[in-house]
Amino acid sequence: MKCLLFHLIIIVSFVVISCSSEPESSQLSYENLRKDGIISGFGISRGNPLDLLNRIQPIASPDYVDIKPDLYENDLMCLGVKTKKGWQFVPLSILNYNEIINSDDNISLCYCPLAGLAISVNGKMGVSGLLKYDTFLLYDEDSGELILPYSQQTYKSNQHISLNPIHFLTYEGILKRFNHAKIINPKYYKNKSDSPYGNYGSNKQMGIGHEKPGLNADFGQSEYLRYHPKDRVLVIGHSGRFEKAYPIPELKNRLGESGGSFSDSINGREVTISYSPKYDWAYAKDKNGHNINLAFSYIFSLYQHLPRIPIYTFQYRKQD
């Protein structure tokens, strides 16, 4: 009898431990997700929310080649991250289709076309097919957890997700300023001259109908009235955390047609902000010269998710 009781205790304990350690993906339901403003990007409302995982197919372990003239169009915008093999870039036109590029170095380049959000995270990421306020949720293939990129945390366990420094500029800029960089093989570029989102990147449409309640009314007020919804914003920070946003129009106003740099302060720490109109390249460095670009985003999307983040503005003062 004692032996039987002992085995029952062991079995019950095992069940409790097993249930408590279930991966996040096994606890998901559309009903619960909707309570947090999360929906399917494919219009699905029943079944397992992750049944459509990677329906938009990420590129895994892609081939990278040396940069050289005429490999890509000079004005093509490219997103890059520094890996153990050096800087590696991917054209935006490829990211519009695949959204995620997973490298052998366990570093992912991620781009959400609806939000204009460009980031890099550690790990192998999947396209979850889920949206919060028209911004994708990433899916960590190793942990099985969903990631909210603007919040920089996992959906259920609220674990902080640190972001890697990135650069976002034209291919011509890469040729001129990143001599030893690599870029994804053009074989992934076939038939991708047109965006699957049409002119979404330049029109005033804010998402595809799943915006944060009140967005249209709020965005047209106060300081945001001066911006086009798709104006790009550089988001910077220390230790992989968002701290301040710099709209590209403000950098153009401050630095003029020739571009340049200026100093700013974030939480008492000096930073240098630069912008090159020629290469459409905005970037920031800390006092030690380290890159602290953490994201680029459409300004309307940044406002939805981080309405309280400090925004740099430049007020022109006429000289007496």
Sign of CA dihedral 56, 77, 314, 239: positive
CA distances in angstroms from 114 to 192, 194, 284, 294, listed in the order given: 17, 16, 25, 18
State yes or no: pLDDT of 30 exceeds 80: yes
CA angle 122, 128, 129 (to 5 degrees): 145
DSSP letter for each residue of 65-108: EE--TTSS-TT-EEEEEEETTEEEEEEHHHHHHH-EEE-TTSEE
What percent of the chain clears pLDDT 70, i.e. is strictly above it? 87
Residue 137, SS3 per DSSP: strand
Residue 16 CA to its chain's centroid (Å): 37
* Tens of pLDDT, residues 33-55: 999 999 999 999 999 999 999 99
Predicted pLDDT of residue 211: 85
Q: Structure pTM?
A: 0.89
Query: How would you classify the pairing of strands 244-247 and 232-236?
Result: antiparallel
Confidence of residue 316 (pLDDT cuts 50, 70, 90): low
